[in-house]
Structure 1
């Protein structure tokens, strides 16, 4: 009888346990996720802060120019703001005058918008009574862009 029971007994191979489920993840994956979330949050906060700063700097430039009563005073305001921004790059940069100042404003720009273009108004536009508003409007985007780039650096 014992032999007949053994002959009818069905034997099965060793069963492997089921694979672990993907949820909940291991503690190491939680740490990786926390680091990724922290990096994303810090990057977003840094960019938001930078955008707010750029808007504040642009508003400062725009307000200074718009509050000037005449075109000559607007040129004077732009020149003063550019000299402030130049000090951030080089402490002695605000002492340049004439073509050296315009060359500094041109920087690496091959078009030379300050020394060969509307930027030449910065040389004497703040002292002339007959400074045209159209000349100031041609200078303003150049001066604003240079001011923003130097203040943001």
Structure 2
């Protein structure tokens, strides 16, 4: 049996294919949310790294300015200059040993040796202690100042940003 439609094909009210409406711009697709989260995380990480580097740079500049200020202040007094540099080293060494403010001799050398510097630098730094207590001890200002700078630079490379305010 064949079906018979009551209407002809020309008389049927057919319309063309309808396209769905354009998707709305809000809320974005999940991929856009992931991209926004990645960009935000990268921005926060970049800011934290910048702040850490800036804090380290400011700390280094302060320490080097302090060394220059001590050299200018004690330009004609080697004993006072040695004492001031020694005190600066003790403040910086406090990170490596809680008793760094009162150890002397070989224990002080061990505290200084916790920072990876060569033996010549350590020997030069140990002359500070001798120069403080012996007015006529051998003392080379330029060599001692350079040794202090080398030790401080090596010390702040190991130092974490949270600890920089303490030294």
Q: Distance in 2 between matches of 1:111 and 1:46?
A: 28
> Which structure shows the higher helix fraction?
1
Residues 110/144 of structure 1: CA separation in 2 closer, same or farther (3 Å cut): closer
> Residue 131 of structure 1: CA displacement?
4.5
Moved over 6 A (4+): none
Residues 26/47 of structure 1: CA separation in 2 closer, same or farther (3 Å cut): farther
User: Is residue 55 from structure 1 mapped to residue 61 from structure 2 by the alignment?
Assistant: yes
Q: Which residue of 1 aligns with 2:145?
A: 140
Residues 2-151 of structure 1 correspond to what in structure 2 (within 5 A)?
A: 26=29, 28-29=32-33, 30-32=35-37, 33-69=39-75, 70-107=77-114, 109=116, 111-115=118-122, 117-126=123-132, 127-129=134-136, 131-132=138-139, 135-148=140-153, 149=155
Three-state SS of the structure 1 residue aligned to 2:119 is coil
Q: Distance in 2 between matches of 1:83 and 1:58?
A: 15
TM-score w.r.t. length of structure 2: 0.62
- CA deviation vs aligned residue, 1:95-140 (integer Å, no higher than 9, x gap): 111122123212364732355x3233123112324654xx121121
Q: Higher Cα Rg: structure 1 or 2?
A: 2
> Residue 81 of structure 1: CA displacement?
0.8
> Residue 56 of structure 1: CA displacement?
1.6
> Residue 46 of structure 1: CA displacement?
2.4
Q: Distance in 2 between matches of 1:110 and 1:51?
A: 21
